[in-house]
Amino acid sequence: MKAVVLAAGKGTRMRELTQEIPKPMLKVQGKPILEHILLGLKDAGIKDIFIVTGFRADVIEGYFGDGSRWGLHVEYGRQVVQDGTGKAPELAKSFVGADDFLLTYGDILVRPETYRDMIKRFREGAFSGVVTVTGSEDVTKGGLNFFDEAFCLRRLVEKPSAEQVEELKRTGWLKPGQTAWYNAGIYLFRPVVYEFTAKLQKSPRGEYELTDALNALVAASHTIAGMQIAGRWVDVRDPEVLASLETGQL
């Protein structure tokens, strides 16, 4: 099992905090967000890690180097054009090779046990991947996932508009009182996913969306398991969230 971490973005919502350093390098309780992620991956037995860098790539690459200081093997690829999450993982294609890999954004903090739970879920069946979710009442801020009785993915709608939400309710996809499953931004994949990222077209937002590749996998009869994240899940999206982590337990 390998890991690919997407850490190319600047993090404009962090305002002046990311003028000189990329968001994944902002510190939480004395360590960069990215270091917390790498230590969690190591705790799950994943020691071969590829980091996709972009804005101020030198800061990330200079800090982690080859990863040996943490008992890890770290490689890098630079995403020159920030054109979405769908194409970024392709920078790691040769690194991944024929191995399965965990994919995470570089600004999502979870308990280290989450990564182990994902590997366990992945090995429960003949799955081509695992998508993690959190329960939510607000269905307009990220990817909205729909599952079957075995909690395997049926459909994913990326950042639905108010009109799309109404359509989902009208067609029975969204039911009153039912938990809305919000995409948590951490995945496990077999390398087959690259067959689908290679075919991606830009979305109406002008980006290559990883969620489009997930829908294509499902449409091609690949089974993607779902897993609800237990306990803490934090999208470190703005200065207020970052500040709150200083007093919370990691």
pLDDT, tens digit, 9 for 90 and up, residues 183-215: 899 999 999 999 999 999 998 888 898 999 999
Q: Tell me what pLDDT residue 148 has.
A: 94
C-alpha radius of gyration, the chain, whole number? 17
Q: Tell me what pLDDT residue 141 has.
A: 63
Q: For the stretch 189-219, what's the b/e string if a residue is b when 16 or more beta carbons lie within 10 angstroms of its beta carbon?
A: bbeebbebbeebeeeeeebbbbbbbbbbbbe
Closest CA to 214 of 179, 235, 187: 187
Pairing of strands 31-32, 27-28: antiparallel
Mean pLDDT of the chain: 88
Q: Tell me what pLDDT residue 27 has.
A: 86
Q: Tell me what pLDDT residue 234 has.
A: 83
* Number of Cβ within a 10 Å radius of residue 134: 18
Strands, E, within the chain: which ranges? 2-7, 27-28, 31-32, 48-53, 73-78, 101-105, 108-110, 129-136, 144-147, 153-157, 180-189, 224-228, 233-235
Q: Tell me what pLDDT residue 239 has.
A: 64
**Predicted confidence band of residue 19 (pLDDT cuts 50, 70, 90):** low
Rounded Cα–Cα distance for residues 116 and 85 (Å)? 24
- The pair of structure tokens assigned to 244 is 């709150």
Q: Tell me what pLDDT residue 99 has.
A: 97
Rounded Cα–Cα distance for residues 114 and 107 (Å)? 15
- Return the SS3 of 128: coil
Contact between residue 76 and residue 91 where contact means Cβ atoms under 8 Å apart: no
Rounded Cα–Cα distance for residues 135 and 211 (Å)? 18
- % of the chain surpassing 70 pLDDT: 91
Residues in the chain: 250
Rounded Cα–Cα distance for residues 217 and 224 (Å)? 8
Q: Tell me what pLDDT residue 207 has.
A: 86
pLDDT, tens digit, 9 for 90 and up, residues 141-200: 677 899 999 999 999 988 788 888 889 989 989 888 788 898 899 999 999 999 999 999
pLDDT, tens digit, 9 for 90 and up, residues 99-157: 999 999 998 999 999 999 999 999 999 999 999 999 876 666 677 899 999 999 999 98
Residue 94 pLDDT greater than 60, yes or no: yes
Q: What average pLDDT does this structure show over 6-13? A: 70
pTM listed for this prediction: 0.92
